[in-house]
Structure 1
Amino acid sequence: MSHVYKKPLEGKIALVAGATRGAGRGIAVELGAAGATVYVTGRTTRQKQSEYRRPETIEDTADLVTQAGGTGIAVPLDHLVPEDVAALVERIRREQGRLDILVNDIWGGEHLFEWDKPVWEHDLEKGLRMLRLAIDTHLITAHHALKLMIEKPGGLLVEVTDGTAEYNAEHYRLSPFYDLAKTAVTRMAWAHGKDLKKVGSTSVSITPGWLRSEMMLDIYEVTEENWRDALIAQPHFCISETPRFIGRAVAALAADPDRARWNGQSLSSGGLAKVYEFNDVDGSRPDCWRYMKEVQEPGKPADATGYR
């Protein structure tokens, strides 16, 4: 039987920076499912762990990309080292001759934030390290990788953050450093959009909803298979989503020939699901940020009916 279905991102080259686990892994896998070749970076490999001391590796992510139907290429990388980022971009140029999609999902701050502490009480070294991991890494990577991406028109930059611009404008994120980190990434995408528009490319920021990442599942001592057991401890976890949901959002954006309409905007997985009509892996369509505003914050009983 001849192959008649062309995957929407077949022939496209993507770099998902910070793809060891969580949203980065979900995005990489869904770009692969759409046919892309995906370079996945991170600091944890099968030979060496980062300070997270967690089991997920970039090789595992690359394997999942390939299993999904794409080509996964794992590259160990610390995005705070500019010369190493530059070397990766040159490798992509040498091996592929192009870069179509850059996803900046680099983070690494889970062990650094201290909730409900003002700046004068928060550990300064940890706070500044968080900003370097959340902001400097994205700027370093954009500086080097966008030079390759803009050589062909139509490229897409995706800056991954936590919270929509609207939500973060109205809510203090319980730490001066975390608050700045997550709002800065959204502004960064807006600023890059001003420059990328001039060269025929698009920049957006995107947030998942309440993400059932590997680390979040561990916090509630559940697995993806029995995640609803966590509702006993946190009933509003009923609105949570898998990392594949934001992955499908990014893949839909990348495959949209009219994606320039989103340039500079703050987007969410749930919001884009309505536009592109995709679902999470369980067939539901969680709309977390609307749920937070209409159910959780007013203090209503947890109930995702009508929100997924």
Structure 2
Amino acid sequence: MPDTLHGHVALVTGATRGAGRGMAVELGAAGATVYVTGRTTRATRSDIGRPETIEDTADLVTRAGGTGIAVRCDHTDPTDVRALADRISTEQDGRLDILVDDTWGGDHLIEWKPIWEHDLDNGLRAVRNALETHLVTLHTVLPLLIHRKQGLVCEITDGDGMFDNRYRGTMFYDLVKSAITRIGRTLHHEVHPHGITAVALTPGFLRSEDMLDRFGVTEDNWRDGITKDRFFAISETPHYIGRAVVALATDPDHARWSGQALSAGQLAAHYGFTDLDGSRPDATRFITDAYYGDKPDADAADYR
């Protein structure tokens, strides 16, 4: 979808790596100006300690065909977020079309233990990094969209309706991801009267930079990771959810989705886009059947 978002302005929070980077790059490939935020820059690293930077993401956005603008922002700090919103307003004459709310920063804080065994400081920091940041961003940035009476807000989470009545293994992680899904659904009631579409959106089994490292593979040989976890066979690149965001943003009737919890696989089936390899992985359907359902021997290839 080249140049379909030319002239549009997007903000992708938490865009240093992973889904955030993939969404920013695909918005750039569609021609958008994309502000990318995070805490890791070429000068300083966040406590996560990974090497990817927001400047690298901005460069990738520009190389893809858009305009990437890197802004170091700690989304737990309302002053930082206020400065970000003011900068976008000043530089873009008050225009913001797309808000992708993707802050997370909790992987290194989550322990797969019962709440009474989980380190309390780490758990509360995860809630602050991954949930409070979404609320601060919405409170501060939404007025830019409200002023224009149009736009798209994507609350990026982990899991669509598949997890509505299922536990995710540890309390703090379950709380954060369930709450963000809930925000994406209920925000509809506040913003829809102002012409804005709000959704919760999830990738499937994401092959982020961190996940590739954990499996000891690269994007070129990622299938070798299936020997460690057969569910890796349904995994997808960060570009897949990026194409889901572009599909929503370029749909003149995207309001039909407002208030729903959606997945990249679901939107791929509807809009017809694919992952980089030309497949359309549907992780929700595969995991529901093969892990939770009555098809333990299901072949991931049948869900791509």
TM-score surpassing 0.5? yes
Identity %: 59
Aligned to 1:214: 209
| Aligned partner letter, 1:162 | D
Structure 1 segment 1-308 matched on structure 2, within 5 A: 7-97=3-93, 98-115=95-112, 117-164=113-160, 166-297=161-292, 298=294, 300-301=296-297, 303-308=299-304
Q: Which digits, 9 at most, give the CA deviation of each residue in 1:226-254, with x for residues without a partner?
A: 10110111122110000000000001001
Instruction: Find the residue that maps to 1:110 and give its secondary structure.
Output: coil
Q: Is the 8 A contact 1:235 1:302 kept in 2?
A: no
CA distance in 1, matches of 2:231, 2:172: 26
Gaps of 5+ in 2: none
Q: Which digits, 9 at most, give the CA deviation of each residue in 1:187-220, with x for residues without a partner?
A: 1112211010111111000000000000000000
Aligned length: 302
Structure 1 residue 101, shift from structure 2 partner? 0.5
Structure 1 residue 153, shift from structure 2 partner? 2.2
Q: Is the 8 A contact 1:41 1:77 kept in 2?
A: yes
CA distance in 1, matches of 2:185, 2:257: 10
RMSD (Å) for aligned C-alpha atoms:
1.2
Q: Is the 8 A contact 2:17 2:52 kept in 1?
A: yes
CA distance in 1, matches of 2:7, 2:76: 29
TM-score (ref. length: structure 2) = 0.97
Q: Is the 8 A contact 1:236 1:302 kept in 2?
A: no
CA distance in 1, matches of 2:230, 2:301: 13
TM-score (ref. length: structure 1) = 0.96
CA distance in 1, matches of 2:249, 2:295: 37
Q: Is the 8 A contact 1:58 1:74 kept in 2?
A: yes
CA distance in 2, matches of 1:113, 1:103: 23
Q: Is the 8 A contact 2:2 2:29 kept in 1?
A: no
CA distance in 2, matches of 1:170, 1:90: 40
Structure 1 residue 269, shift from structure 2 partner? 0.2
Structure 1 residue 39, shift from structure 2 partner? 0.1
